[in-house]
């Protein structure tokens, strides 16, 4: 756990909704593409110190061009 006032890293894991493209063949999911260019909106803390959430969101959503992420074959 992060402790304020120490040299421990400020770690925050958060989640938010993003659009995904899901390909299904013969009833099986074969590929999922996460569209990672969506601005962060309504994030929810999953793990870490919630006091750092605003800073974490600003850092992750600073306008850099993110690619989409694909999973599958």
Evaluate whether residue 1 is within a structural domain. Answer: no
- Containing 15, the helix (H) or strand (E) segment is strand 12-15
**In the chain, what percentage of residues exceed pLDDT 70?**
74
Mean pLDDT of 38-54: 88
pTM summary value: 0.58
| Residue 12 CB-density burial (10 A; 0-12 exposed, 13-18 middle, 19+ buried) | buried
Residue 24 in this model has a pLDDT that exceeds 90 = yes
Range of the domain at 22: 12-72
Residue 68 lies inside a defined structural domain of this protein: yes
In a domain, 29, yes or no: yes
C-alpha angle 5/11/72, rounded to 5°? Answer: 175
- Closest of 18, 25, 26, 28 to residue 69, by C-alpha: 18
Label residue 18 by pLDDT band (50, 70, 90): confident
In the chain, how many domains are there?
1
Tokens 């990672």 sit on residue: 36
**51 pLDDT exceeds 80?**
yes
């Amino acid at each position: 756990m992060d402790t304020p006032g120490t040299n421990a890293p400020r770690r925050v894991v958060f989640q938010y909704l993003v659009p995904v493209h899901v390909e299904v063949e013969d009833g099986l999911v074969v590929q999922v593409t996460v569209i990672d260019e969506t601005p962060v909106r309504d994030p929810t803390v999953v793990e870490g110190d919630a006091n750092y959430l605003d800073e974490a969101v600003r850092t992750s959503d600073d306008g850099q061009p993110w690619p989409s992420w694909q999973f599958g074959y």
